[in-house]
Amino acid sequence: GKRMHELIKPLSWLLGKWRGEVGKGKYPTITDFNYVEELEFIHVGQPNIQFSAYSWHPETNKPMHREVGFIRRKPDCDQIAFIIAQNLGICEIEEGTFTESEIKVESRSLGRLTFGSDPATKKVTRHFKRDGDTLEQILYMETVNTPMTEHLRITYKKV
Q: Which of 11, 14, 20, 35 binds ligand HEM (CB under 6 A)?
A: 35
Residue 95's nearest CA partner among 85, 110, 112, 116 is 110
> Which helix H or strand E contains 85, and what residues bound it?
strand 79-86
Residues 6+ away with beta carbon under 8 Å from 132: none
Task: Pick the binder of ligand HEM from 11, 64, 81, 103 (CB under 6 A).
Answer: 64
Quickly count: other Cβ atoms within 10 Å of residue 37's Cβ: 21
Q: Can residue 129 be called a binding residue for ligand HEM (CB under 6 A)? A: no
State which of positions 75-114 bind ligand HEM (CB under 6 A): 90
| Contacting range for ligand HEM; rule: CB under 6 A; set: 8-16, 24-32, 43-51, 129-137 | 24-32
33 forms part of the interface with ligand HEM (CB under 6 A) = yes
First and final CA of the chain: distance in angstroms?
A: 17
Decide whether 5 or 26 has the Cβ nearer to ligand HEM: 26
